[in-house]
Amino acid sequence: MNNISRFPGRRSVPLWHQAILAFVGAVVTAQIGVWHYRDYQAAQAKPAMQVVQPLAPPVEVAALIGSSAAPTGDREIASFGFCHEGGGTNCVVDGDTIYYHGTKIRIADIDTPETHEPRCGEEAALGAKATQRLHALVNSGPFTLQSIDRDEDGYGRKLRILMRGGESLGETLVNEGLARWYVGGRQPWC
């Protein structure tokens, strides 16, 4: 015979062509089976449903920022220094920014005078007072971090509200005249 298969009512197809089609069909079928198996494994590994809330309730500080140092009691108490004195772990940068377990956190509800590149002497002096006061506040007991509708700002800092006993630590700074409520952007202090 001449190497061409003849089936009634079908067009003649060379045997080598049939063999290639059969091989490709087997490979494609096997690959699809692998894809389906991978999808099945992935579906088994993930929870059936995730609940995402835009505003999370206050949580313990280490749990919120993904710190490896988990709290040992109800809340963790950390000792804060000043970042210009060897900081970067647990320290106060200025009146509205801290590092906690190496994560930089911007206090989201307030704005304080700049201490790095202040525009005038008054701003520098008020910024130094706000920094000192925030240092005292974070060292005076446990606090929680409450997330807002955004996780980070444009500088990669985590945006959180520092809370203690249901009260914002930022509000304390505002009430003492060392900060103002954050309304967006840097506003002059001079």
Structure tokens at 22: 């059969």
Angle, CA of 99, 130 and 174, to the nearest 5°: 105
**pTM of the entire structure?**
0.60
User: Would you kindly state where each structural domain of the chain is located, as residue ranges?
Assistant: 4-45, 59-181
According to the model, what pLDDT value does residue 78 have?
80
Structure tokens at 45: 């590994």
Tens-place pLDDT, residues 130-150: 999 999 999 999 999 999 999
Q: Does 1.10.20 match the CATH number of domain 59-181?
A: no
According to the model, what pLDDT value does residue 96 have?
94
